Amino acid sequence: MKFDTPATTNPIDQLQVVGKATPRIEGPLKTTGTAHYAYEHHDVLPNQAYGVVIGSAIAKGRIASMNLEAAEAAPGVLAIVTAANAGKLGKGKYNTAKLLGGPEIQHYHQAVALVVADTFEQARTAAQMIDIRYERAEGVFDLAATRESGKEDKEQMADTLHGDFEGAFAAAPVQLDATYTTPDQSHAMMEPFASMAAWDGDKLTLWTSNQMIDWSVTDLATTLGIAKQNVRLISPYIGGGFGGKLFLRADAVLAALGARMAKRPVKVALARPLMFNNSTHRPATIQRIRIGCTADGKITATAHEGWNGGLPDGKVELAAQPSKLLYAGENRRVTMRLSTLDLPEGNAMRAPGEAPGMMALEIAMDEMAHKLKIDPVEFRILNDTQVDPVDPKRPFSQRHLTECLRTGAERFGWNKRAAQPGTQREGRWLIGMGMAVAFRNNLLVKSGARVRLNQQGIVTVETDMTDIGTGSYTIIGQTAAEMMGVSLDKVVVRLGDSSFPVSSGSGGQFGGNCSTAGVYAACVKLREAVAQRLGVSVDDATFAGGEVRSGDKRVPLQDAAQAGELVAEDSIEFAQLSKKFQQSTFGAHFVEVAVDSATGETRVRRMLAVCAAGRILNPTSARSQVIGAMTMGVGAALMEELAVDKRLGFFVNHDLAGYEVPVHADIPHQEVIFLDETDPVSSPMKAKGVGELGICGVSAAIANAIYNATGIRVREYPITLDKMLDRLPPMI
């Protein structure tokens, strides 16, 4: 199905099932431990062996020698995989570095060997017996030192140069010129990277934890040099990914290689200390922002220039991208530069681009509002736009940013905020409020599904879409139930298997909208097949209450399948609408903090998010997504930082003891408001993504609240107390 005209009315608009707050249908399986994750398929195949990955001890150089003799002779050892005996390996489209290094080393903890044994303990013991000698080469690990060598990445983000920024900025009576930094960050998901591989002749089955099934099937086939049709990838449940599991990783490739060499099924999980350097991370950024305004607060010039580092084939982090679209103003310069660093792979992490970009941009907007002596909410409303500022002929399909700001300000009690920083106290605590805009583009990705109707009236949906804890099972089930006119308990949802039709996958907050639109398309086909079987016109038929109704005729839906199961398959393809309209999601974050006037300790006390993200398919799971994103925003603002050893080139705090993330005690009451909005341009579902919108701007809102509380402006994340101690106002 091609979606090339805005949706008006369709069966989804009945809203009998879609749009209702619904508990996740797979929840009981997860809470009872009967939902098997990648490493937990203990009973699928007999005689499973275990693999332990060895990571490189250097960041750059080569392996001079690798002595395997002691390990090969150790009890239970079945095979040891290295680059020397793995055979020729290709490199997939989505991997910057090779997933099995040697003899050349590209980054610290790049996988260099896999030890396979009868038990995990035997494999781990043998891995410690391998003697590897390295020849270390000089590496580059400091982003600030390489900033001037950064290059434009035209494929990912070409420069936006519109109007005369330099002239307009020079002429602006009120100017801001500030530089902000965000650190390297880790996904730190609960479930580690894990896989189990088994061969049947030349056919490979891989149980793994992966967000994008088809991408990874393709890359695995390319890496191993086998036909894509000989690879089956299964990933029904995923314990968090945040973008880290978008791509094929070392656990999957090495499990496949180990199983082939050992001639047994092999399961591999990356140890937590290995994950931080072996897998991808959000790269650090340096961002310079310049804003020029008229005296009454109209933006006339915007420049957002960013830098990040990556391996030689890496991709630029799109941190400056929001400044292309978010605020009005005729003159702008938006650029990103990529420097070559020999650190582990930088890549997508929840809301890549917008999340770190808004961390900087929304502090800059707060700073400019204070320069102008205009309320920060009103300053943003003053500079709202309903069209793409660079291409004014292209309107936003929906843009209710002002409504988000007004709603949030009223609900949060923004009028009680002290305009003068550092003036509101509760005993030793300095109290402040801050806010920031939320912004994330609405991405559209082709997505397919297969739908079955059996003689019992059960509707089964099959798609390779994944559920990374986001609620995909439930919204897909709700979509099928609405389309076929049955209750949710009459729908079975099967996900995460490459033998099913290719979906959008989970990432970029496009999964919910696009995968349900693909199910919608398949259900349209199934409705046609049902109508034909029953001898009615599909255009006149209503599917409701488990029946098909046409005129005076009312027939149970299951009657259509009495002559045999009905099967329909289709996909949604998004044609030209994205070129005619700019599609984005918007929101506003409001935060109250308390800062200890003696120690600089910051406590977040209240949080509110107001989101405009199209139709909310399931308010229960959507709220869960937003508060989870808000929690990540707290971590990014106050604690999360991968500490780089700039001499040896690795992340020092590579475990959950040293890499701090928020815990329950760090998170206060969180409120989420969804505007009553539908976007007929986005999809037949009239929905958009929301899971990443919740993180965009949160960190800046916290930074702005800290400024309001203390008068201290911190431009380097995370905002730890050492950056405030010597600037705190005197205790009273």
Mind telling me the catalytic residues? Answer: 692
Burial class (CB in 10 A: 0-12, 13-18, 19+), 570: buried
DSSP string over 699-724: HHHHHHHHHHHHS----BSS--GGGT
Adjacent-strand bridge partners of 716: 181
Burial class (CB in 10 A: 0-12, 13-18, 19+), 647: exposed
Helix/strand/coil for 688: coil
The number of beta carbons lying within 10 Å of the beta carbon of residue 166 is 13
Burial class (CB in 10 A: 0-12, 13-18, 19+), 631: buried
What kind and span of H or E run contains 340? strand 331-340
Burial class (CB in 10 A: 0-12, 13-18, 19+), 399: buried
| Rounded-to-integer distance, Cα 618 and Cα 531, Å | 29
Residues 6+ apart with CB under 8 A from 99: 89, 111, 223, 248, 249, 250, 253, 254
Helix/strand/coil for 281: strand
The number of beta carbons lying within 10 Å of the beta carbon of residue 383 is 20
Task: Give the rounded distance of the alpha carbon of 672 from its chain centre.
Answer: 19
SS3 readout for 575-621: CCHHHHCECEEEEEEEEEEEEECCCCCEEEEEEEEEEECEECCCHHH
**Whole-Å CA distances, 23 to 462, 474, 558, 624:** 21, 8, 26, 11
Nearest to 266 by CA among 399, 368, 438, 114: 114
Token pair listed for 583? 């599609």
The number of beta carbons lying within 10 Å of the beta carbon of residue 271 is 14
**Size of the chain, expressed as the number of residues it contains:** 732
| Rounded-to-integer distance, Cα 541 and Cα 15, Å | 17
Token pair listed for 707? 């400024």
